[in-house]
Amino acid sequence: MGAVADGAGSAKYSHIGSKIAVETALKYLSKISEYLQKRKGFWQRASQALSEIEAKKLFAKTVNQVIAELKNQAANNDYSVQDLACTLLVFMFLLLGLSR
């Protein structure tokens, strides 16, 4: 998994928003991955990638976590959430069908 963000040039604290967005997304996805490994053994049994619906749900939840954290940061520092504007790209991949 990975994430990268680029701050909006017009946003005063976009560098902070970018950092928070990446850290929050990776933290959330890491927790999901750990849960699936420990509780369900999902990654070991997976024979195919997530369905489009599953992927959309996962990324929607990730974005919601990021938005909540950006709102929290803005509220705690007395500035607008728009001051943290950034573009966030997130990805996950699953290696399937590898043989020696």
Tens digit of each residue's pLDDT (9 = 90 or more) over 67-90: 999 999 999 999 999 999 999 999
Inside any domain, residue 100: no
In the prediction, which pLDDT does 75 show? 97
Domain span at 87: 2-91
**Phi/psi zone of residue 51: left (φ > 0), alpha (ψ -120 to 50 degrees), beta?**
beta
Q: Per-residue pLDDT for 96 more than 80?
A: no
Inside any domain, residue 97: no
Tens digit of each residue's pLDDT (9 = 90 or more) over 6-62: 999 999 999 999 999 999 999 999 888 776 666 555 555 555 666 788 888 989 999
Backbone angles phi, psi at 96, to 5 degrees: -125, 145
Inside any domain, residue 96: no
Q: In angstroms, how far is the first alpha carbon of the chain from the final one?
A: 23
Inside any domain, residue 98: no
Query: Which pTM does this prediction carry?
Result: 0.80
Inside any domain, residue 46: yes
In the prediction, which pLDDT does 94 show? 63
Tally of structural domains, the chain: 1
In the prediction, which pLDDT does 68 show? 98
Tell me how far CA of residue 87 lies from CA of 8, 20, 47, 60, 64, in angstroms: 7, 12, 32, 15, 14
